[in-house]
Amino acid sequence: MATSVSNADYINSRPAIRTRPSISGVIGNTGSPRSPRTPLLNRSISSQFGSPGSFRIEQEDVVIFELNQRYFAAGYAGESRPRSILPFTPGSSHRAGDYGQYDKAHARNMRKYRLGEDWASSHELYQVDLGALDLGLVEDKLDRALRKIHVDYLQMDSKPRKVLLVVPSMVPTPLLGIALKVLFGHFTQPPSISILTNPVLSCASAGLRHALVIDIGWEETTITAVGEYKEIMQRRSVRAGKMLTKEMADVIEHELAGSDVKITFEETEDLVQRMAWCRSRRVDSEESPQVTVVHLPTPGSVPTTDFPIDFVKLAEPAERTFFAPQHLQTDHDDHDIPIHLLAHKLLLSLPVDLRSTCISRIVLTGSYTNMLGLKQRLLQEISYLVQSRGWDVVSNYGSARQRHERVLWNEPIIKEASTGSTISQESVSALQDPTVMPLVPASDRVHDDIHDPVTIKAERGKGGASDSDASNVVRGVESLGAWAGASLVASLKIQGVHEIDKDDFNKHGFRGI
């Protein structure tokens, strides 16, 4: 039987605490030799000379997601390209273990031809028109794509990481709420999500603060004026990649008239990516025609069908889609204006200082701007509109055109008479003769009302070059794209303007933030 020990005996039986030796004797006897000793300090200095300790903070990883109608991309900040680009196709919705897509009979039966507007619905995540869209199905597709990217490509642990979401401009609010719900509901549980748009990031990846960004997307083309990394004004048009594929299918079906061969969306998009091109504005009439061969699969026993087609025919879809030379300017509605006319209208709506900056910084981005000759053709069309029409808001004066030109021409002569100087006989005869018109256009003549002392002094400081001269220079700038701009912005740890915390989203939802 164990004997009990009192508290006093237990405390007294403990060994005495060893006292720290004093260093006063060492300091006092400085002249005597002594053996080397370990310095007696109150704190350890091993972290200063050894491996880094807790004072060095580990770099925080930021995950970037890009949401598009046709694909979902993901990667880490600081990298030049995304690690995964997952397209939305009919094959991406198959169950695990379903290999029916590799069966030739199944693939032949699943060929979908042009039967209305649902021709390409299975190749896109959502549509801009949410009237007939199943938002629950969109959420399930996006959640499945996110889980696949995390498991197969990013291979992330459960550590919370900040997320930067890249979305198109003016994305519908329900779709943005679904994207935030899917990202916040993942097991990684990001603490916050920053939202940025494509035009601003395309401008950042081009190294510009002001630019005119032309983004040719899938369902619509957006033209945005960016000033100091802010979207100042934006115009839209339905002339984009979806209309381009339909025009290409019309050209191919016209060449195959009378045969049993039908073309599907996958084959049309493949032809657009490989063989579509855009002609220059100045067409060489002496150019000899060239014939190319197009391969198309047939539903019968023959695997493919080869048919010849003129190479110039493959440039007609881009011509009719983006520039519409077969229609007059008055025949277009506000939603289907050609791209070059829409860009010129947007420049006319901008202030003069921002317009003169954006006209020489035109950024062409989007998956369909990589088409051969499209960038050069767009810049040629915009330059032609600037030289022919100038910056006059009114495009057609009608019956008042002659009176408008006479007022602009007579203005310097009237000012000459008001100053008391002698008017030449030619000027007097020109004022009296209504049939005489100026040889020099009014837009190219020097007007005295714009040469005030402040303007003259500013021009003298610039060496004689005015802003009006720079505003007529149309110049394109190469951009690395929206994802590269997001990677650059996130690696610099710049706080986003629209940053949503997880707690606020769980409490109030997307509309309450």
Q: What is the DSSP string of 120-144?
A: GGGG-S--S--TT--HHHHHHHHHH
Domain residue spans of the chain? 56-201+481-508
Tokens representing 336? 């289907």
The arrangement of secondary structure in 56-201+481-508, i.e. its CATH architecture, is: 2-Layer Sandwich (3.30)
Q: How many CB atoms lie within 10 A of CB 486?
A: 29
Tokens representing 35? 């053996």
CA distances from 396 to 132, 330, 344, 347, 494 (A): 41, 11, 15, 18, 47
Q: Is residue 412 helix, strand or coil? A: helix
Q: Which residues contact 437 (CB under 8 A, 6 or more apart)?
A: 405, 406, 409
- Supply the pLDDT for residue 160: 81
CA distance 495 to 498: 9
- Encode pLDDT of 188-219 as tens digits: 778 889 999 999 999 999 999 999 999 999 99
- Encode pLDDT of 226-259 as tens digits: 999 999 999 999 999 999 999 998 888 888 776 6
Q: Which residues contact 325 (CB under 8 A, 6 or more apart)?
A: 319
Quote the DSSP letter at residue 399.
G
CA distances from 147 to 151, 186, 228, 421, 474 (A): 6, 8, 36, 82, 45
Tokens representing 168? 């198109």
Q: Which amino acid, residue 431?
A: L
Positive/negative CA dihedral, 378, 380, 385, 386: positive
Positive/negative CA dihedral, 259, 265, 267, 268: positive
- Encode pLDDT of 247-301 as tens digits: 998 888 888 776 666 778 888 898 899 889 998 887 766 666 788 888 776 554 4
- Encode pLDDT of 318-356 as tens digits: 999 999 887 777 778 888 899 999 999 999 999 988 998
Lowest mean pLDDT of 146-155, 163-172, 423-432, name the range. Answer: 423-432
| Interval 43-66 mean pLDDT | 58
Phi, psi of 155 (to 5 degrees): 50, 60
Q: Which amino acid, residue 137?
A: L
Q: Where are the alpha helices (DSSP H) in 237-373?
A: 241-255, 265-275, 316-318, 339-349, 352-358
Mean pLDDT, the chain, rounded, equals: 77
Q: Which residues on neighbouring strands pair with residue 224, listed in sequence order?
A: 213, 234
CA distances from 43 to 48, 269, 411 (A): 11, 69, 87
Find, among 487, 484, 481, the residue nearest to 76 by Cα.
487
CA distance 23 to 348: 84
Q: Where are the alpha helices (DSSP H) in 364-400?
A: 374-389
CA distance 468 to 459: 11
423 touches 417 (CB < 8 A)? yes
Strands ordered across the beta sheet of 71-76? 84-87, 71-76, 62-67, 162-167, 192-197, 498-501
| Interval 478-501 mean pLDDT | 86
pTM as predicted: 0.74
Quote the DSSP letter at residue 333.
-
